[in-house]
Amino acid sequence: MLYSVKGELIHLEPRMAVICCGGVGFRCQITMNTARQMPAIGGEAMLYTIMNVREDAIELFGFADQNELACFKQLTAISGVGPKVGISILSELSPERVALAVAAGDHKALTKAPGVGPKLAQRIVLEMKDKVTALSTSTGAVEIPAGAAVSASSNAAQAVDALTVLGFTAGEASAAVGKLDSALPVEVLVRDALKMLARRG
């Protein structure tokens, strides 16, 4: 219903921001990562939003960028992961870190978030990884151009896996990563590839 809100930031707490748009204050629940990107009170802010409607409440969740919003949607699509847990995970880990944890099968990284126990963390990794596997199967083998050597453990291959977790096709991910130095750390490859993909979009 609401794609985004943009206006004056009139109130900010660690997990909540109020943005005034046309005289209406929109209360958005936010992650700690988004909170760190908010301007000073009185400054202009923009959040990408998703509305959650329950029997007893209507909640608005806001995110500083579309990658965080996309990751939130993927997390909350998993059984047992509600909006509060999604916000908790993305307050501890950036979308890139979540993607890397899933790609590497590192469920322990997700347990750093309050409310996420080992069983739920394992379910998140398995279900998100299943989506990537299904995508890879349907699109064929992933190829990294520009002479980047790819093996199961290479940084480039891990970066491509992480980008597919974030919702990009294997082709989009491999094309972006292939333009970068495969010797860079995986997280840097993911971050720089995301910047390229965002500019292209």
Residue 64 DSSP class: S
Mean pLDDT calculated for residue range 72-86: 93
Residue 53, strand partner residues: 58
Q: What is the mean pLDDT of residues 109-134?
A: 86
pLDDT digits (tens, 9 = 90+) for 11-35: 999 899 999 999 999 999 999 999 9
CA torsion sign for 181, 185, 190, 196 is negative
Instruction: Average the pLDDT over 129-136 and give the result.
Output: 57
Would you say domain 4-63 falls under CATH 3.30.70.260?
Answer: no
pLDDT band at 132 (very low <50, low <70, confident <90, very high): low
3-state DSSP assignment of residue 65? coil
- pLDDT at residue 50 above 90? yes
**Within a 13 Å sphere around the CA of 140, how many CA atoms are in the beta-carbon half?**
5
Name the fold adopted by 139-200. Helicase, Ruva Protein; domain 3 (1.10.8)
Per-domain residue ranges of the chain: 4-63, 66-130, 139-200
Cβ–Cβ under 8 Å, residues 128 and 74: yes
Instruction: Give the C-alpha separation, 46 to 123, whole Å.
Output: 32
Q: What pLDDT digit, counting tens, does each position of 151-167 carry?
A: 434 888 888 888 887 77
Average pLDDT, the chain: 84
Per the DSSP assignment, residues forming a β-bridge with 13 are 16
Q: What percent of the chain has pLDDT over 90?
A: 48
Q: Do domains 66-130 and 139-200 have the same CATH topology?
A: no
pLDDT band at 148 (very low <50, low <70, confident <90, very high): very low
Query: Phi/psi zone of residue 140: left (φ > 0), alpha (ψ -120 to 50 degrees), beta?
Result: left
Fold of 66-130: DNA polymerase; domain 1 (1.10.150)
Q: Quick one: CA dihedral 7, 90, 124, 144, positive or negative?
A: positive
